[in-house]
Chains A and B, each alone.
Chain A
Amino acid sequence: MLVLGIETSCDETGAAVVEDGRKIRSNVLLSQVEQHAKFGGVVPELAARSHLEGILHVTGAALREAGVSLKEIGLVAATCGPGLIGGLLVGLSFAKALALGSSKPFCGVNHLEAHIYANFLAHPDLAPPLLCLTVSGGHTDLVYMEDHGKYRILGRTRDDAAGEAFDKVARVLGLGYPGGPYLEKAARQGKPGSPLIRTDSLAGTYDFSFSGLKTAVINRVHRYRQKNQELPVADLAATFQQQVVTILLERTFRAVDELGIKTVLLSGGVAANGELRKGFAREAAAREVRFFCPPLELCTDNAAMVAAAGYFHFQKSGPSPLDLPAFPRLSWKLQE
């Protein structure tokens, strides 16, 4: 079955065609289309956010690149939350109208669930039960997936998301934006020093907190400035990165041990971080647990993962009603 997926929950306007929930036939983002066409390499932020102007364009491109017509599509899937209500409504309404007008079934998808399914696109033999850590600019969620459509959130951030902390610390250290890749690059030149924070206030839970780490970096920066000393940017970056990775690994692999998990996944934009990947690979190998991580282009927001999640949802629970609302804050209970 060919599934058309639509993603508009945050910055990206995306459309994709995926076969049987596993094989990507096309995966288009407006930011890339615009880059190649209209704006000669520069993406105005405003254009990237105007889902309404882009959605028809992106959907057309996704069908063309897949070499299929709308007639051959068996299901239309769209993100229904969480996200910004304005963007969600554009994608959701568009997908419903397209499904209704072309007599196809429609399926609403949880964005966080879609991040997990990014891994199903890259690894054909992957199957639940599994544990997934989704880390991005907006999310830090440790989720146990017992079966398709059956999830339990074990932990999430109490303040800043991991990717957000990377971005903000990069800014404080005068590195570029988005901060993740720049901070990782700087950290490679440095050596991790003494920990920024010595006590883990959430020890024993599966929750995360990164705001205190961010403030600790800022405090160190202030101290160097007060003493008129040169900022050891690379060392601070390395120290910060090491501590974030340590916390992410501790929570995830404690859950692996306590729940007897055999398959562990990473997803979300921060999954692009080399140290985090290495740490996951090392800890998984030590336990003889299978570890999967999507390729970089599937780590960040995209519509192929929405199509994949929609496919498995549809197989299990059938179509969503056409009056399905957008859920700016979506619990994992959706469509169980």
Chain B
Amino acid sequence: MEGRVEREGSLRVRVAGPQETEELGFFLGQILPPGTFLFLSGELGSGKTLFTRGLSRGLESDELATSPSFALLHKYEGRLPLYHLDLYRLSRPEETAVLGLEEILDEEAVVAVEWGEVARHLFPGDYLEIRFAYGEKEDEREIVFLPHGEPYRLLLKELAEKCGF
């Protein structure tokens, strides 16, 4: 994988295939502090769930993350609890009430949300946005990390160093 730090502390990474997407998630999972909120966006098949599986490995979760599209929410126990949400099936902000996201945000946990646009009103002030896009070649993906808040800028610096960018 190749990556570079861009303006305002954002990080742009190009991965060659699925294994590198998972590996990037693994690296991030290893350094995440408690109280982290990740907003994962991108088309179907762009690697969000695979990246989260890497996160779960990096967090030493008791199981590898699988898609929560149907269940809406999966929780894993590990170095830190991991809440993996997928709001693909929700279409209105009121429907997010069933998730209990407010309580989850009070915990010292890691929260990763896919298709989270519908729950924007529940996002904390600081969070890390991760955008997944298809690359030029079929297996290639471009993954862009956008920090919202100083703690996430520092986290991305650490991630860039860890990946050797």
B-binding residues in A (CB < 8 A): 10, 45-46, 49, 82-87, 136-139, 157-161, 163-164, 167-168, 171-172, 211-212, 214-215, 218-219, 222, 328-329
> Is A86 touching B70 in the complex (CB atoms < 8 A)?
no
Q: B-side binding surface: helix, strand, loop or mixed? A: loop
Contact A136 to B44, CB < 8 A, known contacts A46-B94, A87-B98, A158-B64:
no
> Is A168 touching B94 in the complex (CB atoms < 8 A)?
no
Contact A164 to B70, CB < 8 A, known contacts A46-B95, A218-B44:
yes
Q: Which residue of chain A has the shortest Cβ distance to B138 in the bound complex?
A: A219
Interface pairs A-B: 8 shortest CB-CB: A138-B70, A215-B45, A137-B70, A218-B45, A160-B67, A164-B69, A86-B98, A219-B138
Contact A328 to B75, CB < 8 A, known contacts A46-B95, A214-B44:
yes
Residue pairs across A and B with CB atoms within 8 Å: the count is: 74
Contact with A along B122-165 (1 / 0, CB 8 A): 00000000000010001000000000000000000000000000
> Is A49 touching B49 in the complex (CB atoms < 8 A)?
no
Bound Cα distance from A318 to B71, whole angstroms: 30
Contact A84 to B50, CB < 8 A, known contacts A49-B95, A172-B44, A215-B45:
no
Q: Which of these, A49, A157, A172, A212, contacts B66 with CB under 8 Å? A: A157
Bound Cα distance from A171 to B88, whole angstroms: 12
> Is B67 touching A171 in the complex (CB atoms < 8 A)?
no
Given contacts A157-B66, A164-B67, A218-B45, 10 further A-B contacts (CB under 8 A): A10-B71, A137-B70, A158-B64, A161-B67, A161-B70, A211-B50, A218-B43, A219-B138, A222-B134, A329-B75
A164: shortest Cβ distance to chain B, in Å?
Answer: 5
Contact A163 to B95, CB < 8 A, known contacts A215-B45, A218-B44:
no
> Is B44 touching A171 in the complex (CB atoms < 8 A)?
yes
Chain B residues touching A, range: 20 to 34
Q: Which residue of chain B has the shortest Cβ distance to A157 in the bound complex?
A: B66
Bound Cα distance from A157 to B66, whole angstroms: 8
Contact A85 to B100, CB < 8 A, known contacts A49-B95, A160-B67, A218-B45:
yes
Contact A159 to B53, CB < 8 A, known contacts A49-B98, A164-B67:
yes
**Interfacial chain A residues near B99, Cβ < 8 Å:** 84, 86
Q: Which of these, A82, A211, A214, contacts B71 with CB under 8 Å? A: A82
B53-94: which have CB < 8 Å to A? 53, 63-64, 66-67, 69-75, 90-92, 94
Bound Cα distance from A110 to B69, whole angstroms: 20
Bound Cα distance from A62 to B45, whole angstroms: 42
Bound Cα distance from A136 to B91, whole angstroms: 21
A10: shortest Cβ distance to chain B, in Å?
Answer: 7
> Is A160 touching B71 in the complex (CB atoms < 8 A)?
no
Bound Cα distance from A211 to B64, whole angstroms: 14
Bound Cα distance from A87 to B74, whole angstroms: 14
13 contacts between A and B (CB under 8 A): A10-B71, A84-B72, A84-B73, A87-B98, A138-B70, A157-B66, A159-B49, A167-B69, A168-B44, A168-B69, A211-B49, A218-B45, A329-B74
B25: shortest Cβ distance to chain A, in Å?
Answer: 13
Contact A46 to B92, CB < 8 A, known contacts A87-B98, A168-B44, A329-B75:
yes
> Is B134 touching A158 in the complex (CB atoms < 8 A)?
no
Bound Cα distance from A32 to B74, whole angstroms: 28
Q: Which residue of chain B has the shortest Cβ distance to A167 in the bound complex?
A: B69
> Is B66 touching A84 in the complex (CB atoms < 8 A)?
no
Contact with A along B92-120 (1 / 0, CB 8 A): 10110011100000000000000000000
Bound Cα distance from A87 to B138, whole angstroms: 40
Q: Which residue of chain B has the shortest Cβ distance to A85 in the bound complex?
A: B100
**Interfacial chain A residues near B91, Cβ < 8 Å:** 45
B17-31: which have CB < 8 Å to A? 18
**Interfacial chain B residues near A163, Cβ < 8 Å:** 70
Q: Which of these, B49, B98, B134, contacts A84 with CB under 8 Å? A: B98
A158: shortest Cβ distance to chain B, in Å?
Answer: 6
Q: Which of these, B70, B90, B134, contacts A136 with CB under 8 Å? A: B70
> Is A211 touching B67 in the complex (CB atoms < 8 A)?
yes
> Is B44 touching A160 in the complex (CB atoms < 8 A)?
no
Bound Cα distance from A160 to B52, whole angstroms: 13
Q: Which residue of chain B has the shortest Cβ distance to A171 in the bound complex?
A: B44
**Interfacial chain B residues near A139, Cβ < 8 Å:** 70
**Interfacial chain B residues near A218, Cβ < 8 Å:** 43-45
